[in-house]
Amino acid sequence: MIRSDIIRGHLDSIILRLIYEEDRYGYEISKEISLRTDNRFQIKEATLYAVFQRLEKKELIESYLGEVSQGGKRKYYRITTLGKAYLQEMVKEWKEVRAIIDLFMEGLK
pTM surpassing 0.75? yes
> In DSSP terms, which residues pair with 24 in a beta bridge?
77
| 18-27 residue pLDDT tens | 999 999 999 9
**pLDDT, tens only, 25-60:** 999 999 999 999 999 888 988 999 999 999 999 999
Strands (E), the chain: 24-25, 61-69, 72-79
> Cα 55 vs. chain centroid, distance in angstroms?
10
Residue 77 near residue 52 (C-beta atoms within 8 A): yes
Angle at 9 between CA 24 and CA 76, to 5 degrees: 15
Domain boundaries, the chain: 4-105
CATH of 4-105, one of 1.20.1050.10, 3.30.365.10, 1.10.10.10, 3.60.20.10: 1.10.10.10
